[in-house]
Amino acid sequence: MIAFGSQRGGGADLATHLSNAEDNEYVELADLRGSVAEDLHGAFAEWEAQAHAMTKAEKYLYSLSINPDPAQGRLTPDQYMDYIARAEERLGLAGQPRAVVCHIKQQRDGNLREHYHVVWSRTDVQDLKAIPIAFDRPKLMMVAREFARDHGLSLPDGYQTGRAKADQLSLYDKAQLDQTGLSKEERMELITELWRQSDSAKAFVGALEDNGYILATGKRPYVLVDIYGHTNALPRMIDDKSVRTKDIVAFLEKDFPTEPPPEGKEGPDPIISVEEAKELAARHRAEREQLRKTEAQAEQLEILEASQAKRREKLEREHASVRQRQDDEKRALARENAERVQAMTANHAGQDFEVQFRRAQNAPTGLAGFLAKVSGVAYVRGRLQAREDRKREELQAEERRRLEQQNEDKRREQERVHQLVQIEQRRKEHAQQLTFARERRSLETAQQRQHAMRMRRGHDHMPAMNLTLGPPGRKAAPYKAKNRYTSTTAKELNVKARPRDKQEPAHMREDFSFAADPPSRKHTDTSKGPDQNPSRKDERGGKKR
C-alpha cells in the first residue's frame, strides 16, 4: 500500500486528468459529496469558488492517490473506502466535500493496475478558513500501517521505520518518460557509463551525440538537449557523487568552451545555446515525424474518436432533453399566465355587469323619474355613479397591472432558471471538450513513445543526431560511411581519402587486401600469381601493386 498526497490548486486541470479515459483502461466516479454538480469539473469549480470567497488559500484541494501492491491481490471497494475514511480522519478532513475516482491503468509490462484517487476540499465553510494539513506523510504512513495490520497486508520495510519514500515522478520526468519510453534512471545510467568510458572531451561529446544528446549551454554551463527537446543539466545526469560540477567544467572547457575566446586570441568556438540546440532537435524530429504516421496509429485514433462520439452523443441527447423540457415549461407558463389574465378579465366584466344590472333595477320610473330629472337628483346620481365607475376601473387596472407583473416575474424567474441550466450544460460540454483534448494528447504521446521505441531499434539509447535518417530496416550505404569516417588503420598507413564528391562505391576487396598485406611488409609467398589489376595504382603510395 503506497499513498501519495499533496495540496494543490488547478481543479479544472485535475478534473481533466482524472477523467482521462485514454491513459486509463477504466475510469469511474465512485463517490462525490458536498457539491451540487454531479461531475468532477463542476464540483471542483464549486470548491474553488468557495475557497476564493472565504479564504486566501491558493491550494484549496488535497489530492491523495492510493496504490496497493498487485502482488498481494486487489483490494475491494469497501477496503478502499475504509482506508479513505481512516486517512481523512487522521488528516482532519472528516466531513469535508470529496470526490473518489477509481482508475485501472495498463502498465509498461502489460499488466493492469487498479488504484484510487481522492480529492478533498480544504475549505471549512463554518469557520471560513482553509484546513491546515501538516506532517501529512507521517500521518499517511501511520494509516497505512494500521490498515495493513487490520487487513493482513505487508508493507515495505521503510514503512516500519517511518522512512519510506513514495515513488513519485516529477511532471517533467514523467513527460520525458511518456515521450521517449526511457526513464530518468536509464538515461542517467547511460550518461554515467559514457562519462567513465571517455578518455577525452571530444570522445565524450561524440558518444553523447551517438546516443541522441546535444551539448549546449544555458543558465548552467553544460546542459544536455535530447532529440525530443528535453533539457537536463549534465552534472545531474552523472550518477557519481565523486564527480563535481567543477570537474566536468575542467574536463570540457578546453575543447568545448561556453564563451568565445578573448579578443586577439585563437581558440575553439563556444558550444551552441540551449535554444539553438532545441531548434536543431526540432528540425531533426520534423524529418522523423514523416515516418511516424502509420495505419495502426490511424486505427487507434479512429477507435478513440468513436468512443468520444458515443460520449458526445450522450451529452447531446441530454442537451436536447433539457431544451425540450424548457420549451414545455415555457409554453405551460405562458398558458397559465394567459388563463389568469382571462379569468381576471371575465371577473371584471362580471363586476361591471352586476353594477349596471343593479343600477337598472334601482332606477326610478314614471313620475318619480320625471321629478328626479327636473329636480336634478338624476344628474347628481349620474355623477356619483361615474365616480364609482372610475374608482372601480382604477382598482381593476391596478389588479391587472399586479397580475401582469406577477406573470412577468414568474417568466423572468423561469428564464433565469433556464439560463442556469444552460450554463451548466455549456460547462459540461466545455469539460467534455477538455477531457477529449487531453485524451487525444495522451494518444499522441503514446504513439510518439511507441514511434520513439521503434526508431530506437538498433540503438542502445536514442537515435544519434548525426545519422542519416531512414526507416528501420533500411540497408546501409557503405560509401556514406566511408566519406564520413576515417578508420584508425587508414590513418596509421597515411592513406589519402578519396574525394567526397565522387560518391563511388568502396573497393572493399582491395582495401581489405591492402590492410592485411601493406607495401611495407615483405612478400615471402611467391607462389601467387601477379596482380590481376596491375593498371590500378595504389592510392596510398602511388605505386602499382
Q: DSSP secondary structure string, 431-498?
A: HHHHHHHHHHHHHHHHHHHHHHHHHTTTSSSS--TTSPP--TTPPP-HHHHHHH---HHHHHTTPPPP
pLDDT value of residue 293:
57
Quote the cell numbers at residue 192.
Answer: 554515467
How far is 285 from 292, CA to CA, in rounded Å? 10
pLDDT value of residue 122:
94
Quote the cell numbers at residue 470.
Answer: 531512414
> Within 13 Å and on the Cβ side, how many CA atoms surround 178?
14
pLDDT value of residue 523:
45
User: pLDDT band at residue 294, thresholds of 50, 70 and 90?
Assistant: low
- CA 352 to centroid of chain Cα atoms: 73
**Phi, psi at 231, each rounded to 5°:** -120, 145
pLDDT value of residue 367:
84
pLDDT value of residue 322:
92
pLDDT value of residue 267:
73
Mean pLDDT across the stretch 273-295? 74
How far is 316 from 225, CA to CA, in rounded Å? 46
Burial class of residue 539 in the structure, from the number of CB atoms within 10 Å of its CB (0-12 exposed, 13-18 middle, 19+ buried) = middle
Q: What is the DSSP-derived secondary structure letter of residue 118?
A: E
User: pLDDT band at residue 479, thresholds of 50, 70 and 90?
Assistant: very low
- Spell out the domain ranges in the chain: 2-168, 174-289, 330-446, 475-545
**Phi, psi at 416, each rounded to 5°:** -65, -45
In terms of Cα–Cα distance, which of 177, 139, 179 is closest to 159?
A: 139
Give the other-Cβ count within 10 Å of 367's Cβ: 8
Q: Which residue has the higher pLDDT, 170 or 205?
A: 205
User: pLDDT band at residue 451, thresholds of 50, 70 and 90?
Assistant: low
Q: Report the alpha-carbon angle 67-70-76, nearest 5.
A: 70
- CA 75 to centroid of chain Cα atoms: 28
User: CATH classification of 2-168 is 2.60.120, yes or no?
Assistant: no
Q: What is the mean pLDDT of the chain?
A: 79
207: helix, strand or coil:
helix
In terms of Cα–Cα distance, which of 483, 453, 454 is closest to 468?
A: 483
User: pLDDT band at residue 503, thresholds of 50, 70 and 90?
Assistant: very low
pLDDT value of residue 473:
41
pLDDT value of residue 541:
43
- Mind listing the pLDDT tens digit for each residue in 177-234? 766 767 788 888 888 988 888 888 888 888 888 888 888 888 888 899 887 888 888 8
pLDDT value of residue 453:
66
How far is 243 from 195, CA to CA, in rounded Å? 10
Cβ neighbours for 357, distance < 8 A, ≥ 6 positions apart: none
Q: Which residue has the higher pLDDT, 161 or 327?
A: 327
- Mind listing the pLDDT tens digit for each residue in 334-381? 999 999 999 999 999 999 999 988 888 888 888 888 888 888 888 888
User: pLDDT band at residue 455, thresholds of 50, 70 and 90?
Assistant: low
- Mind listing the pLDDT tens digit for each residue in 38-52? 889 999 999 999 999
Sign of CA dihedral 535, 540, 542, 545: negative
pLDDT value of residue 529:
43
User: pLDDT band at residue 469, thresholds of 50, 70 and 90?
Assistant: very low
pTM of the model: 0.52
How far is 107 from 24, CA to CA, in rounded Å? 10
pLDDT value of residue 166:
47
- Mind listing the pLDDT tens digit for each residue in 386-444? 999 999 999 999 999 999 999 999 999 999 999 989 988 888 899 999 988 888 888 88
pLDDT value of residue 213:
87
Q: Which residue has the higher pLDDT, 159 or 70?
A: 70
